[in-house]
Structure 1
Amino acid sequence: MHQLTYGEIKAAADRIAGRVRPVALAPADPGEFHGDPAEGSREGWLALEFLQHTGSFKARGAQNFLQAHREAGTLPDAGMTIASGGNAGLACAWAARQQGVTATVFLPATAPAVKTARLRGFGAEVRLVGTEYADALAACEEFAATTGALASHAYDHPLIAAGAGTVLEEIVRQVPGLDTVVVAVGGGGLYAGVATAARHHGVRVVAVEPENCRALNAAIGAGRPVDVTVDSVAADALGARRASAMALDAARQGEVHSVLVPDSAIVRARRALWEHRRIAVEHAAATALAALPSGAYPQVVGGGYRPAPGEKVAVVLCGANTDPGDLTAVQPDQA
């Protein structure tokens, strides 16, 4: 098991500088996700990482992965490959195009046509195999073994996690004295990177998962990565059956608050971002916000993490690859 270090985060930041978009921060309105403003002053920020290339933080890890291999002279002529029709696949295809190499992306034949079209738009060679992700993964592994293509991973790789962690470096530069960062967790790539950087800066990490996609929470409880049930509105991005050992190690090394939220809170947080800010994010991004009690949006309440008076908090909105149609549709109570 690889133990991620702060040095790897710094190296990643140097590699991807000028190759990714710096994260933009928007100040929270009074009471927006801190509860009653009368309880005491707090400083809150929304980290708008969904504005990143390809619409998610995954671009950071993919760029770091490829750039590191290019620097080491280990980027093969066969290019790189990954099994993912989601954000990781898009980021891989984008980064490969930036580096002038071929990306071969495997995904199930049942994948939505819009995903395959976008992958091809980034110049990827798309291969549809089987009906489940496991089929695509097996084909990807065979392809890498037979062609020599460089195999990437959606989250369980040090270079991918280190690249993701660079977002925290950018946040702390913009928010001196940051106390807490709130992130959604799937397989643990973003969490491992952010937690490693956060430990160096003395920042608390709140790791948020859907109630029925709790891979990290279960790993913390069991003391080892374990398989979990995947059943959530955010499963398309947070639906890892098992958290990485690297993520669990990061949780053991620093101060982590593991929070579970119901799908109803995720849906309401996503809609609140749209209704009050006209921000359209995927359910995974709204999962982080759903962990915080809200005074401005009383419908986004359900326990979770309550910041203390004076606490500086940043919530990472990690992706926007979503269909906004259900956000703009008139709801029954609005008709």
Structure 2
Amino acid sequence: MAAGNMSPEVGPESYRPLIERVVDADSLPDSIAQETPLHVFDTYKQQVGEWLKIRRPQQPYSPEELDSAVDAFIADASNSRGNWVYYPWMDTVVRILDEEMFAELRTSRNQYKIKPEEQKALAGKTIGIVGLSVGQSAAVTLAMEAVGGVLRIADFDTLDLSNLNRLRAGLHQLGLPKTVIAAREIAQIDPYIKIEVFHEGVQPTNAVEFMTGLDILVEECDSLPIKIMLRKIAQQMKMPVIMDTSDRGMVDVERFDIEQNRPIFHGRLQPFEGKDPASFTEEDKRNLLFALVDYEKASDRAKASFAEIGKSITTWPQLASAVNLGGAMMTDTARRILLGHDVKSGRYYVDLEQLIGGDE
């Protein structure tokens, strides 16, 4: 058995690939063959060739030399033959490099924006993502950049058609849990990343379990009481929390890891201290939301949208461009915090309307 995500799950909501070592390149192992996969992709020789090329940048191979080097590598019985990866939701098997070679090759174009020793350190980190709208973009970007060897994701919701204005998914996935959709996309990028899934989302009954062992939290849920609860737990656990709001590129950084006594939400909750969030009136919730997002600094269109909630729209709008920007900002910020860079607590804006061309 290979290291990685091992699971016998084969069903409509499966999300873990089955990974088996290649013993005979001409036949699939029984555990996979019994599933009678429809598609088998074996590009192992191509992957080995690319791996050999990145190891000899100063002396490029000619096509003939590369073919000979690949054949020699594969003929050497001491070398790995890679792994078979079965994706039950696609009924597809792919042959890939073993975990060490795969990681080296897949992250080779990160160098030296991310140094090899930094990439190795990041692989040892566990990142939590709560809420899978901006959170889906963050989780997938973290996986692409190989930031985090364990990604722990949580959301209780399923995919609706209206979500497709900003979530990377397809019509065939309507009704699926957002956790399953995100986990599958990550596994299709890198099956060696360990994915831990909380299908029920984060609740008071499982919040401590979710938070335990995390190195950083990416908080993107919609529930104000849960947002508050997670930050209070993060304070106790000395854990950094980052958040994007999909308006004006606003990013919150709360370094509870180095400022344990820092007031949550930068002190914006002080007028509400002592009140039970469960007893908040609609006016309390609105005032709290305005305090947390700094209403006066919100974009004009966000302010107009807030006024229409419950009238012409059911909830606040989010655009794909803002959600994808948020995923990029969450990944960049998380990476630098995890690597010990001097990222300070605060509220930051990457406002594209101000940076590029001004308003309409």
What TM-score comes out, normalization by structure 2 length?
Answer: 0.19
Greater RCO structure (CA 8 Å; 6+ sep): 1
Look at both structures and tell me which one has the larger radius of gyration over its CA atoms.
2
What TM-score comes out, normalization by structure 1 length?
Answer: 0.20
